[in-house]
């Protein structure tokens, strides 16, 4: 008897296998790289995008561009994911990593055509990566993170390609201040710098960019509960932070109370009132000037607090509360009856509610040693502020990386060229043999895409410039790169174009690993739809 064929995959899907899958992936990676190619370097072009909500995004940040565009090829998606990971890991090099990964994959194409097995190519790539990292290591040199001028120069040179270039030191200053503020020294170890958690950017349109600053403390968009009667400005406030409601506790789930007699109502209300009165009395006994809770606060509680001369703010975000706790030296309390003097924050110099535009903002500032901060960005419009925020994010990434690992490598494609040259030398030195050798060399050649793109983006004669650069490196001038503004081959150490070691190493690692991952794929199933 004939058996019906077993259907393993749905038939409405698209399936590419073997070489076809690999070529498809390479094509997709190249396409994504082509999108961001023109945004690399100081002469970067901007992209204008329409986001999903119909808003306009103007940017030359590779990661921001790719976040907005909608792609369907799985490999393109994975490449885009790559740029996000890079952004999260080191906060910079997002364009470079995409361009490099695309080039590494493109470089594998001829080997696939010659029927070299992908695992051989992958082996060669990984080996080249190991050597490349060693070469980057050799090109790195240490810096002094205490030297503010030098740090400003470094941050500026790393983010100099972005939109805020004309603002001088503004963004770099903000970034360095923020990193200094949230840095916690670990004795005998690398400092802890968690910008995501402890530094928050608040964007307020309606003033000039020069008015942006890093607060020694925290701000958030809230007003006191009873604006007319609670104090809105207190010097050296005693702050109590709560993450529980100051109203009679409702059940977690929907709870219903059924009452048979009318008097029971009165009893129930009395119970609630008593609880609130008792709790407020306990709070007042600690003599705080300001009580902030993440939850609700009833009118009755507001009344008691006002009577005790305490200002109160309700429904604050958990993350903001955490920052206040750190900045003012307070502990967030879950049960007001258990709060003690030790939980009160006294580290802030000033609590004030100010009106900016139409909104009220609470400031808890002038902290002695905040370790958490808000960064106020002011600017003419939302679009400008969004782009400045992206730049600031990059700048903080650079500042953080350099503080954590105070080593730099020359930028402008210099280190890529040096590594490329080094790999070429190593490949002939006899270490790499057989059919791996060509693929190993291909990694080195692919690295040239960075200086090539920089040259091409400022309109230089690419072939002539690159051969000149190769010649310079052959003569051991390993810090020579492309001046991204003029397209000339120059010494990057003299020009002052640097990049953090950490970023370069990570870029290389991510690009090669992504390329090898995609090469390992020999079957792509796409178009899978949920059955409705
Ligand atoms: P990414 O998102 O990858 O950081 P960028 O657009 O910031 O992309 O470009 C960074 C590249 O531009 C780096 O390779 C850096 O060395 C180079 N670069 C930055 N400024 C200059 C300059 N003035 N001259 C030459 N190259 C530069």
149-191 pLDDT, tens per residue? 888 888 887 776 555 556 668 889 999 999 999 999 888 888 8
Alpha carbons 446 and 414: distance in angstroms, whole number:
14
71, 27 in Cβ contact below 8 A?
no
Q: Is residue 248 very low, low, confident or very high in pLDDT (cuts 50, 70, 90)?
A: confident
Report the pLDDT value the prediction gives residue 169, as an integer from 0 to 100.
Answer: 82
Instruction: Determine which of 69-78, 202-211, 310-319, 426-435 has the lowest per-residue pLDDT on average.
Output: 426-435
Please name which of 5, 24, 2 lies closest in space to residue 14, comparing C-alpha atoms: 24
What is the percentage of the chain residues whose pLDDT exceeds 70? 93
Q: Is residue 529 very low, low, confident or very high in pLDDT (cuts 50, 70, 90)?
A: low
Alpha carbons 298 and 318: distance in angstroms, whole number:
19
Give the torsion sign (CA, 426, 427, 428, 430): positive
Query: Does the CB atom of residue 62 touch ligand 1 within 6 A?
Result: yes
Please name which of 235, 196, 162 lies closest in space to residue 388, comparing C-alpha atoms: 162
Greater confidence, 95 or 12?
95
Please indicate whether residue 486 is annotated as part of the active site: no
Angle at Cα 100 formed by Cα 151 and Cα 493, nearest 5°? 35
Task: Give SS3 for 250.
Answer: coil
Query: Does the CB atom of residue 391 touch ligand 1 within 6 A?
Result: no
Report the pLDDT value the prediction gives residue 532, as an integer from 0 to 100.
Answer: 46
Using CA atoms, how far residue 17 sits from 8, 21, 476, 516, 525, in Å, is 15, 5, 45, 17, 9
Give the torsion sign (CA, 105, 503, 408, 165): positive
Alpha carbons 391 and 370: distance in angstroms, whole number:
24
Report the pLDDT value the prediction gives residue 383, as an integer from 0 to 100.
Answer: 86
Please indicate whether residue 87 is annotated as part of the active site: no
Residue 21 CA to ligand 1 center (angstroms) comes to 33
Fold type of domain 14-141+409-526: GROEL; domain 1 (1.10.560)
Alpha carbons 79 and 101: distance in angstroms, whole number:
8
**Strands ordered across the beta sheet of 407-410:** 141-142, 407-410, 498-500
Q: Is the model's pLDDT at 513 over the cut of 80?
A: yes
Alpha carbons 249 and 334: distance in angstroms, whole number:
13
- CATH 3.50.7.10 range(s) for the chain read 218-369
Query: Does the CB atom of residue 245 touch ligand 1 within 6 A?
Result: no
Task: Give SS3 for 316.
Answer: coil
Counting ligand 1 atoms within 8 A of each CB, the residue from 83, 411, 413 with the most, and so the one to mutate, is 411
Alpha carbons 423 and 460: distance in angstroms, whole number:
26
DSSP secondary structure, 295-308, as one string: S-B-HHHHHHHHHT
| Domain spanning 218-369, CATH architecture | 3-Layer(bba) Sandwich (3.50)
| Domain spanning 144-216+376-405, CATH architecture | 2-Layer Sandwich (3.30)
Alpha carbons 350 and 367: distance in angstroms, whole number:
8
Average of per-residue pLDDT across 13-41: 88
Please indicate whether residue 394 is annotated as part of the active site: yes
Please name which of 324, 381, 321 lies closest in space to residue 357, comparing C-alpha atoms: 381
Taking the CA of residue 63 as reference, the ligand 1 atom at the shortest distance is: 2
Torsion angle defined by CA atoms of residues 392, 396, 398 and 400, in that order, rounded to the nearest 10 degrees: 180
- CATH 1.10.560.10 range(s) for the chain read 14-141+409-526
Please indicate whether residue 94 is annotated as part of the active site: yes
Q: Is residue 251 very low, low, confident or very high in pLDDT (cuts 50, 70, 90)?
A: low
Torsion angle defined by CA atoms of residues 285, 286, 287 and 291, in that order, rounded to the nearest 10 degrees: -110
Alpha carbons 460 and 484: distance in angstroms, whole number:
10
Report the pLDDT value the prediction gives residue 478, as an integer from 0 to 100.
Answer: 87
Q: In whole angstroms, what separates CA 111 from the centre of its chain?
A: 36
Place of tokens 């600031």: 392
Rg of the chain in Å (alpha carbons)? 29
Query: Does the CB atom of residue 454 touch ligand 1 within 6 A?
Result: yes
Query: Does the CB atom of residue 410 touch ligand 1 within 6 A?
Result: no
- CATH 3.30.260.10 range(s) for the chain read 144-216+376-405
Task: Determine the straight-line distance between the first and last CA of the chain, rounded to whole angstroms.
Answer: 35
Average of per-residue pLDDT across 318-346: 95
Instruction: Tell me the β-bridge partners of 202.
Output: 376
Q: Is residue 250 very low, low, confident or very high in pLDDT (cuts 50, 70, 90)?
A: low
pLDDT in tens, 417-475: 999 999 999 988 766 667 789 999 999 999 999 999 999 999 999 999 999 999 999 99
**Plot region of 230 (φ>0 → left; ψ -120 to 50 → alpha; else → beta):** beta
pLDDT in tens, 49-63: 888 788 888 887 778
Report the pLDDT value the prediction gives residue 407, as an integer from 0 to 100.
Answer: 92
CA-nearest residue, atom 7 of ligand 1: 161
Tell me the pLDDT of the chain averaged across its residues: 89
Helix%, strand%, coil% for the chain, nearest 5 = 50, 15, 35
Average of per-residue pLDDT across 132-139: 95
Query: Does the CB atom of residue 403 touch ligand 1 within 6 A?
Result: no
Average of per-residue pLDDT across 361-368: 96
pLDDT in tens, 194-219: 998 999 999 999 988 889 999 999 99
């Amino acid at each position: 008897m004939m058996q019906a064929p077993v259907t393993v995959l749905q038939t409405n899907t698209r399936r590419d296998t073997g070489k076809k899958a690999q070529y498809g992936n390479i094509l997709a990676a190249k396409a994504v790289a082509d999108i961001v190619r023109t945004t690399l370097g100081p002469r970067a072009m901007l992209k204008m995008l329409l986001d999903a909500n119909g808003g306009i995004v103007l940017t030359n940040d590779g990661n921001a561009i790719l976040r907005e565009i909608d792609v369907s090829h799985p490999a393109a998606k994975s490449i885009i994911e790559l740029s996000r990971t890079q952004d999260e890991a080191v906060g910079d090099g997002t364009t470079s990593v995409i361009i490099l990964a695309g080039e590494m994959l493109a470089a594998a194409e001829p080997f696939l055509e010659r029927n070299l097995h992908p695992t051989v190519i992958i082996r060669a790539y990984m080996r080249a990566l190991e050597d490349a990292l060693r070469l980057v290591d050799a090109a790195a040199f240490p810096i002094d993170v205490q030297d503010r001028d030098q740090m400003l120069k470094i941050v500026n040179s790393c983010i100099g390609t972005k939109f805020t270039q004309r603002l001088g030191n503004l963004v770099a200053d903000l970034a360095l201040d923020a990193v200094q503020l949230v840095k916690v020294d670990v004795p005998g170890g690398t400092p802890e710098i968690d910008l995501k958690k402890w530094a928050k950017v608040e964007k307020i349109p309606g003033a000039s960019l020069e008015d942006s600053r890093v607060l020694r403390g925290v701000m958030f968009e809230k007003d006191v509960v009873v604006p007319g009667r609670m104090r809105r400005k207190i010097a050296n406030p005693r702050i109590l932070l709560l993450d529980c409601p100051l109203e009679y506790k409702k059940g977690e789930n929907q709870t219903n109370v059924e009452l048979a007699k009318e008097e029971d109502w009165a009893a129930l209300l009395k119970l609630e009132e008593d609880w609130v009165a008792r709790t407020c009395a306990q709070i007042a006994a600690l003599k705080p000037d300001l009580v902030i809770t993440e939850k609700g606060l009833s009118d009755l509680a507001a009344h008691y607090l006002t009577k005790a001369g305490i200002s109160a703010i309700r429904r604050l975000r958990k993350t903001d509360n955490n920052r206040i706790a750190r900045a003012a030296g307070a502990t967030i309390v879950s049960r007001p009856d258990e709060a003690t003097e030790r939980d009160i924050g006294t580290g802030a110099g000033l609590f004030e509610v100010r009106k900016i535009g139409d909104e009220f903002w609470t400031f808890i500032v002038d902290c002695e040693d905040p370790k958490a901060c808000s960064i106020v960005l002011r600017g003419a419009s939302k679009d400008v502020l969004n782009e400045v925020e992206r730049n600031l994010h990059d700048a903080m990434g650079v500042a953080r990386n350099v503080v954590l690992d105070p080593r730099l490598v020359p930028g402008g494609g210099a280190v890529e060229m040096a590594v490329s040259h080094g790999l070429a030398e190593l490949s002939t030195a006899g270490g790499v043999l057989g059919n791996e050798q060509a693929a190993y060399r291909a990694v080195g050649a692919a690295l040239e895409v960075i200086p090539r793109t920089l040259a091409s983006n400022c309109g230089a004669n690419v072939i002539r410039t690159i051969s000149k650069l190769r010649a310079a490196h052959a003569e051991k001038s390993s810090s020579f790169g492309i001046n991204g503004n003029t397209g000339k081959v120059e010494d990057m150490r003299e020009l002052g174009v640097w990049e953090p070691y950490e970023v370069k190493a990570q870029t290389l690692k991510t690009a090669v690993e992504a390329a090898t991952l995609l090469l390992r794929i020999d079957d792509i199933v796409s178009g899978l739809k949920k059955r409705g």
